[in-house]
Structure 1
Amino acid sequence: MTASEENSLLPKHVAIIMDGNNRFAKKMQMQQGAGHREGKNVLDPIVEHCRKNQIQALTVFAFSSENWNRPQFEVDLLMKLLQETIQEQLPRMEKFNIALRFIGDRSRLPAHLCELMLQAEHRTANFDSMTLTIAVSYGGMWDIAEAAKKIAAQAVAQKIAVDDIDVALFGQHVSIANLPAVDLLIRTGGDYRLSNFLLWQAAYAELYFTQTLWPEFTVDEFDDALAVFAGRERRFGKTSEQIQQEKIEN
């Protein structure tokens, strides 16, 4: 198999629901919140592995819209860890030419954290080896509602007609619209649900669920997920026969 054929079997965009930090802490008899700190260290090797494999985009779920309902001490810890993550990641992003982005409702985030996020986005905006997106205070339903609000405002202002609104137009207004659609969505921690993550962007994503808790997730298991992805037939509504015929023609 040629290098180009191997690359065609890799996803362009991987999304990860990083679940299982608290259960890891309980399993290891660690103090409350310690699992989140352990989980923070798992991301770096995954990002580097994506870049080496020429995966264009990695989007990770760090803090959901629903996570605001968690105990206050845990929310405060997660905000602190996010700040540390940004400060630690910036030099790495600059070294490896990786753009760092954030998606989610920033209105509920601390002002100093919003400022740090903006600085990180501006400093890495022109980097193009890959894009790392961190979803913070994010929910897929919120994302879709925000897109609808923007489109409605354009319609009211008569910048677009109602008949102009279609899937393509709507897709231009959701978060990370300029990145490829999610090809592979990985969830660690043993649960089998999307938990309101990238509902629009992952409409045709291949799903990979693992019992492995996020702090124990390794590059080797990430490769297992890539191998499973490579073995899946992605039909996008077509038949297997149509897909095979297209391969022959191409």
Structure 2
Amino acid sequence: TARTGTEIDKNIVRKKVHLRGFSSSNLKDYTKMFFKDEGCRTLVLNQLKANPNLSSLCSVPLFCWIIFKCFEHFHSAFDSHELPDFTVTLTDIFLLMTEVHLNRIQKTNLLKKNNRSQEETYRSNKDKLFALSKIAYMGMQKSLFVFDQKDVLSGLPEQDLHLGFLRTVPNYGGSVDQSSYEFLHLTLQSFFTAFFLVTDKKVGAKDLLQFFAECSMQDTTLSSCLPLAWLKNYNPTGGDPFRNKEHFHFT
């Protein structure tokens, strides 16, 4: 198995190997194996080079496969003439990944293709998405990345634990009676946190801007941090709050 956290009886395991992940040269070799078309391969490598978040995720073989499958899907949806202008972001990856996970729980005929749009998939599962995003947001507020079972199940039905967004952390903190959970990856928790900030109507400017250290917590008006040229009487003070690229954690 290549899944982390999987316990296997030592009596049936002859050798255990810890994979260090893909190096830069490994990633290029795997890209060459995955994308046979040279033009498509060059485009993918250029986008990975331009996006450090995607590139770092690709050092993990499993995530690399997921990201490449997403690239493959996005590229198939566009004409070849449009490919050079199409940029894949981490948000695109997780939106598609979320759609795939949610569609897996649909009770449909295996021979019948799912024709639901992405929007329909999200709308029909909005309660699940909101519960997951609330857990992620709560964790980010408290710098918490491993959650107690009671905190997770207080807002998320137990059957939704099997969606694939959360995984168990065995014996965390010495607790054997209750399971602990974490998101599949920290960037996935960031994605759901951003999802919460965008979809929850109660979230104000102060709640949003607390995630950006360059913004003053004393002045929480959007105009103080966002350089929006169309705001009337806009007079920028200080430097660009997004110059340190913090916001890339949410894109």
Q: TM-score, normalised by structure 1?
A: 0.26
Higher-Rg member (1/2):
2
Q: Which has the higher contact order (CA 8 A, sep 6+)?
A: 1
Q: TM-score, normalised by structure 2?
A: 0.25
